[in-house]
Amino acid sequence: MTIARAMFCPRCNNASSDTDKCTTCGSRLKTLESARRRGWVAFAAGVFLVIFVSAIWIWVDRLMAAQSAAAAAQFVGRLNLAFALIVLSGVLGIVNGWFQGHSGRTNRAIVFGILIVFAIALFLAYTASKAYNAA
């Protein structure tokens, strides 16, 4: 007696064990073990992002501490907010990786939140750089 492996669609989260393609959206099905493995990789990537960006944040703050101009203070303030948002996206990545590592399912709301927060952080860093270079 052969037991069919549990398969599910990573795009629409429909479970299936009889075919290789999703009956709803047509994408290739994944095993639960591979999804969990990807979840733990996402967890590790989120931990790396939080640690790495935090270290860079501390380093940049120490470099900019000597600046006393008003434009530099505004630049550092915007840059600190951008770093905080990037760290927040890393924390959301950790939460998503933990959730996916345990359940095998991706939480789309968290992934969407990660993308939005990271895009806002990049936009803030860009505007901070533009304002600092103009002054």
Whole-angstrom distance, CA of residue 36 vs CA of residue 5: 14
Binned at pLDDT 50, 70 and 90, residue 1 comes out as very low
Binned at pLDDT 50, 70 and 90, residue 74 comes out as confident
The token pair at 117 is: 């927060």
Q: Strand order of the sheet with strand 7-8?
A: 15-16, 7-8, 30-31
Phi/psi region, residue 99 (left: phi>0; alpha: psi -120 to 50; beta: rest), is: alpha
- pLDDT over threshold 80, residue 2: no
Helical residues (DSSP H) of the chain, grouped into ranges:
32-64, 70-103, 108-134
Residues ≥6 apart with Cβ < 8 Å to 5: 17, 31, 32
Global pTM reads 0.80
Whole-angstrom distance, CA of residue 74 vs CA of residue 96: 33
Listed by start position, the domains of the chain span 33-134
Query: Average pLDDT of the chain?
Result: 85
Most confident of 14-23, 47-56, 68-77: 47-56
